[in-house]
A = this chain, B = another copy of it.
Amino acid sequence: MTIEAQDEQQAATKDRLVAAAISQDVGFLLAKLHAGGSIVNNRALAEFDLKERSYSVLILANSGLEPTQRELADFLSLDPSQIVALVDELEKRKLVARAPGKQDRRAKTVTATAKGSQLLAQAAVAARHAESEVLATLDDGEILQLKALLRKALWG
């Protein structure tokens, strides 16, 4: 078989299963796009020794909202103990700092350092490129629509 014919057959069989009913299932579509996107995102962020998780924490630490670890756990749908590990690592790299909560001294707020902000600025560029790559088949209007629908599904 020639290389070209092989490629054609692969292309033909690769998406053969799209016809199945599960391709109408939002949960499945979400999982699949998320899986593919994670690979692209993590590859883009690897240059800065970040992963999706640590990148998310860094963004929130840099938001000016001074989130507590508990809030990070709730918002990122992670167990509090995972936040500890993520913040530990970012703190060790001097990208974020922990501070005791103002009203509640049990809580610790996580804020980005200047170094963290700088790194984030660079990483954000790479993340935007990754997003474009993942959503390459959508035009700008469709991307906005998709974001709006996802946000509405999450927060009404």
Q: How far is the CA of A89 from the CA of B56 in the complex (A)?
A: 36
* Residues of chain B lying within 8 A (CB to CB) of residue A31: 34, 38, 52, 77
Q: Is the CB of A153 within 8 A of B137?
A: yes
Q: How far is the CA of A9 from the CA of B77 in the complex (A)?
A: 20
* Residues of chain B lying within 8 A (CB to CB) of residue A35: 77
* Residues of chain B lying within 8 A (CB to CB) of residue A20: 59-60, 63, 65
Q: How far is the CA of A13 from the CA of B70 in the complex (A)?
A: 11
Q: DSSP majority for the A interface? A: helix
Number of chain A residues whose Cβ lies closer than 8 Å to a Cβ of chain B: 60
Q: Is the CB of A26 within 8 A of B156?
A: no
Q: Is the CB of B134 within 8 A of A29?
A: no
In the complex, whether A41 has a CB less than 8 A from a CB of chain B is: yes
In the complex, whether A22 has a CB less than 8 A from a CB of chain B is: yes
Q: Is the CB of A152 within 8 A of B142?
A: yes
Contact with B along A102-121 (1 / 0, CB 8 A): 00000000000000000000
Q: Is the CB of A17 within 8 A of B65?
A: yes
In the complex, whether A96 has a CB less than 8 A from a CB of chain B is: no
Q: How far is the CA of A17 from the CA of B149 in the complex (A)?
A: 18
Q: Is the CB of B23 within 8 A of A151?
A: yes
